[in-house]
């Protein structure tokens, strides 16, 4: 793409005003609707993937490890930088006369790095697979490596997707970034359907791994499906960028020093992500060891594939509401900081903490309560034994929804303040905590609980992050409206207690996982799950109203807008 604009042509700047509740609700609704559709399709995609390779077993874990590599590498090389570090820099750039040139340089450098990284790590696929596996057989390593050759190129397109999406977000075009994964999921669903039609679904329980069955054609079809989807997800963002008035021009050079601040933030952010990914590497080895034990004992044990599916379910409420809220507020916070409005920044931090907390407290309690039903419904092709093995992992992760939301909020504020050094320093005790809990579980409990230990370590690390990063913010800003935030959290915690009691009582009426087999069992699980979610939500909402928690209306406004859109 080229641009006819001169070097000093200003980009279209977003408004400098604080985002109103109506604007926040509208932006959140747009993003939440895209995320909702994407997550529903993502869960369908996950169910078809389980039908293709299983939820537990050697083939499932081989695919999961191969699929984990581009995500891990992306996080290591770009995600921590692009998702959070770029928006404040782009917002500032759009408010400068030469902002178009700065953004062009960022996109040029980032796109080139994404392509180079994708090629380099694809070539290194055998090394990466061996690094993350633990005592796997030669056949399982060969399968994972073959899949990795097809899957790791996603790294390039993940980078392009985030670069283009963050430019859209900084310009206030929130919808396309959240809606483009819908295209990726549709392509993946069609691809997995074609794969199952060609090669059939895997048995339940899965048979022993036989490499003679995994022909190059079968590996190519299975491995390329998601990569094609991620490529489409990234490249489609070019359309809204062009329509919105931004046209990228290839630029390597600019004024001396104009990217100095960005370079500093990127350096510290990369260092922080590097420390985090060390934790991912070591905890993945714990889960891979659980898989090795399962193969030797022929027991159904949650390994890295079960952890991935539990994570996919756990992240739904966070990405649907919390991320949508924080993405809109992130741009608003960056604008407040850019114009030197510290009180306005503190107001947005308080608003973000209160809104995400009111939702996350209920989501955490609900997901823990209906955990078995959630796994049964959202991974419908899994066996009862696999559901039972995965449920404790999901429930443990769900305990961390509140600290997860706060951790993401505070991290983004530090990026707004260009304090990536503090993010790096806090990441060290976070990662130590995660590794310590995971390996403590490996030493002290049976292998069937090792993956649960990894989940517990992640929750503990997020709690550490909230405590340490909040202390850093308090030193930087002086105050954080803590009394108001604490009051909302305290009242929300009181309001959720009767909802938990009701949910636990209702779960006693639900048949066991083994009784919820087949299509009829799936329908019973879905109906019971939706009924319990609705009942808990109603009781929680009444409690919030009685306790005068006004944030409830703001949290529900995106939902109300979605309902009106459906009508």
- The pLDDT tens digits of the residues spanning 21-48 come to 556 656 666 666 666 777 778 778 877 8
pTM of the model: 0.68
CA dihedral sign of residues 261, 264, 270, 275: negative
Within a domain: 8: no
Task: Return the residue matching tokens 């009767």.
Answer: 498
Which pair of tokens denotes residue 297?
């004992």
From the centroid of its chain, how far is CA 114?
20
What is the pLDDT at residue 335?
78
What is the pLDDT at residue 398?
94
Domains: count for the chain = 1
In Å, how far are 103, 276, 334, 353, 406 from 418, measured between CA atoms? 17, 19, 10, 20, 18
Within a domain: 79: yes
Within a domain: 2: no
Contacts of 200 (CB under 8 A, 6+ apart): none
**In degrees rounded to 5, what are phi and psi of residue 474?**
-65, -40
Contacts of 51 (CB under 8 A, 6+ apart): 192, 196, 201, 202, 381
* Segments in the chain below pLDDT 70: 1-35, 55-57, 72-89, 91-99, 134, 172, 174, 203-212, 254-259, 294-299, 555-567
Element (H, E) at 226: helix 216-235
Within a domain: 10: no
Q: Measured between alpha carbons, how far is 83 from 69 in angstroms, rounded to an integer? A: 18
| Closest by Cα among 256, 221, 560, 272 to 431 | 272
What is the pLDDT at residue 134?
64
What's the whole-number average pLDDT of the chain?
80
What is the pLDDT at residue 365?
95
| Closest by Cα among 161, 319, 164 to 232 | 161
From the centroid of its chain, how far is CA 515?
32
Q: What is the pLDDT of residues 475-523, one digit of tens each?
A: 888 778 888 999 999 999 999 999 999 999 999 998 887 777 777 888 8
Domain that holds residue 68: 21-251+259-562
Within a domain: 7: no
In Å, how far are 381, 385, 406, 485, 508 from 521, measured between CA atoms? 12, 15, 37, 42, 16
Q: Alpha helix locations (H) across 339-445?
A: 342-369, 371-378, 384-398, 401-416, 420-444
Within a domain: 6: no
Within a domain: 266: yes
SS percent in the chain: helix, strand, coil, step 5? 80, 0, 20
Q: What is the pLDDT of residues 382-435, one digit of tens each?
A: 778 888 888 999 999 999 999 998 988 888 888 788 787 888 899 999 999 999
What is the pLDDT at residue 329?
76
What is the pLDDT at residue 133?
72
Q: Quick one: angle between helices 21-53 and 58-74, nearest 10?
A: 150
Within a domain: 13: no
CA dihedral sign of residues 209, 215, 218, 220: positive
Q: Measured between alpha carbons, how far is 157 from 231 in angstroms, rounded to an integer? A: 5
What is the pLDDT at residue 522?
82
């Amino acid at each position: 793409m080229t641009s006819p604009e001169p070097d000093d042509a200003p980009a279209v700047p977003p408004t400098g005003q604080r985002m109103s509740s109506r604007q926040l609700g509208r932006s959140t609704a747009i993003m939440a609707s895209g995320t909702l559709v994407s997550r529903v399709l993502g869960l369908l995609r996950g169910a078809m993937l389980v039908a293709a390779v299983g939820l537990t077993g050697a083939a499932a874990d081989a695919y999961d490890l191969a699929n984990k590599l581009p995500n891990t590498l992306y996080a290591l090389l770009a995600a921590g930088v692009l998702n959070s570090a770029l928006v404040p820099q782009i917002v500032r750039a759009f408010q400068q006369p030469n902002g178009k040139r700065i953004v062009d340089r960022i996109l040029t450098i980032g796109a080139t790095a994404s392509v180079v990284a994708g090629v380099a790590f694809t070539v290194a696929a055998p090394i990466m697979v061996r690094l993350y596996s633990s005592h796997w057989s030669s056949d399982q390593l060969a399968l994972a490596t073959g899949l990795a050759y097809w899957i790791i190129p996603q790294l390039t397109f993940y980078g392009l997707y985030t670069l283009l999406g963050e430019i859209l977000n900084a310009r206030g075009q929130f919808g396309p970034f959240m809606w483009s994964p819908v295209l990726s999921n549709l392509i993946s669903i069609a691809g997995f359907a074609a794969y199952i039609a060609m090669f059939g679904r895997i048995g339940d329980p899965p048979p022993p791994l036989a490499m003679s069955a995994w022909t190059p054609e079968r590996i190519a079809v299975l491995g390329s499906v998601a990569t094609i989807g991620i490529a489409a997800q990234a490249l489609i963002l070019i359309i809204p960028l062009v329509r919105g008035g931004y046209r990228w021009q290839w630029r390597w050079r600019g004024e001396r020093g104009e990217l100095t601040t960005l370079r500093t933030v990127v350096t510290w952010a990369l260092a922080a992500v590097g420390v985090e990914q060390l934790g991912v590497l070591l905890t993945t080895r714990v889960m891979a060891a659980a898989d090795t034990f399962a193969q030797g004992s022929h027991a159904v044990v949650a390994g890295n594939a079960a952890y991935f599916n539990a994570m996919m379910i756990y992240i739904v409420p966070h990405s649907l509401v919390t991320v949508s809220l924080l993405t809109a507020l992130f741009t608003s916070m960056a604008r407040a900081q850019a114009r030197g409005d510290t009180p306005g920044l503190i107001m947005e931090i308080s608003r973000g903490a209160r809104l995400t907390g009111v939702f996350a407290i209920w989501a955490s309690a609900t997901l823990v309560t209906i955990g078995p039903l959630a796994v049964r419904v959202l991974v419908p092709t899994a066996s009862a034994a696999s559901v039972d093995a995965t449920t404790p992992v999901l429930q443990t992760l769900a305990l961390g929804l509140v600290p997860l939301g706060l951790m993401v909020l505070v991290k983004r504020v530090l990026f707004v303040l260009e304090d990536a050094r503090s993010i790096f320093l806090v990441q060290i005790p976070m990662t130590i905590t995660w590794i310590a809990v995971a390996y403590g579980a490996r030493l002290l409990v049976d292998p069937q609980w090792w993956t649960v230990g990894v989940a517990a370590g992640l929750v503990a690390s997020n709690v550490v992050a909230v405590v340490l990063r909040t202390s850093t913010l308090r030193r930087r800003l002086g105050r954080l409206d803590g009394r108001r935030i604490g009051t909302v959290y305290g009242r929300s915690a009181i309001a959720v207690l009767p909802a938990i009691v009701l949910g636990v009582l209702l779960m006693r009426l639900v048949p066991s996982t083994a009784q919820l087999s087949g299509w009829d069992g799936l329908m019973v699980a879905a109906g019971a799950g939706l009924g319990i979610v609705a009942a808990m939500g109603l009781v929680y909402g009444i409690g919030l109203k009685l306790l005068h928690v006004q944030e409830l209306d703001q949290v529900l406004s995106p939902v109300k807008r979605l309902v009106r859109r459906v009508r």
